[in-house]
Amino acid sequence: MIFTRGDFNGYKSLNEQAVNESRQRTRYFSATKPYSGTTVFISHKHDDLDLGELDGVIGMLKQHNVIPYIDSMDNKMPEHTCAETAKRIKQVIEFCDKFILLATNSAIESYWCNWEVGIGDVRKYKNHIAILPMKDVGKNYNGNEYLKLYSSIEYFDGTRSYSNGDNISAGYYVRTPTEENNYNIEPLKNWLEKRY
């Protein structure tokens, strides 16, 4: 399932206080102190998503007691992109429990986002990385072959069933590809809670 821009906008207004708290927390994010919730590095193309779109995704994730990290809101980032920028991003990816790529077409083409996925792959391993694919309204989603190696975040509407016939409840799930050209799903909340 590919999300469309605007799909998460309702979460911003529902969780406006939590979104503002997340922004504030990111400004002073420490990659050395322990946090009570799951920490999530959110990789995205900065000029691709407006702040409201990003706030909607943050709002959805905050429903699962996560502490999102967004590099564009980090006060510890240098003013201009440089080696220190890469060093800080690498440090935070290594520290965070999970890594989510907001995979818009522009993010997939971005050198920085691809570099971040590579760091996440080495430091988080596949079971802690998820792709959240998102396209523009009325546009095609280009995707990328290598992204199919990773789990993706999807929404199931309650009309589908597991292979044993049991109903899949409506909600967000992480869909993980298997070697048999099939996939497993687990609720997003459960995936986020796994830190090992």
Cα–Cα distance measured from residue 56 to residue 98, given in angstroms and rounded to the nearest whole number: 18
Percent of the chain exceeding pLDDT 90 equals: 39
* Mean predicted lDDT score pLDDT of the chain: 85
Could you report the per-residue pLDDT of 61-85, keeping only the tens digit for each? 988 888 888 887 778 888 888 899 9
Is the pTM for the entire model greater than 0.85?
Answer: yes
**3-152 CATH:** 3.40.50
* Segment 163-191 mean pLDDT: 93
Domain boundaries, the chain: 3-152
pLDDT (0 to 100) of residue 67: 86
* Segment 3-13 mean pLDDT: 81
Q: What ranges make up the beta strands (E) of the chain?
A: 3-4, 38-43, 66-69, 98-103, 129-135, 151-156, 171-177, 183-187
Chain centroid, CA 149 distance in Å:
15
CA torsion angle for 89, 34, 41, 58 (degrees, to 10)? Answer: -130
Asked if residue 99 lies in contact with residue 120, where contact means CB atoms within 8 angstroms, the answer is yes
Question: Which bin fits 176, alpha (ψ -120 to 50), beta or left (φ > 0)?
Answer: beta
Greater confidence (136 vs 166) lies with 166
DSSP classification of residue 147: G
Cα–Cα distance measured from residue 189 to residue 63, given in angstroms and rounded to the nearest whole number: 9
Cα–Cα distance measured from residue 47 to residue 113, given in angstroms and rounded to the nearest whole number: 12
Cα–Cα distance measured from residue 103 to residue 115, given in angstroms and rounded to the nearest whole number: 13
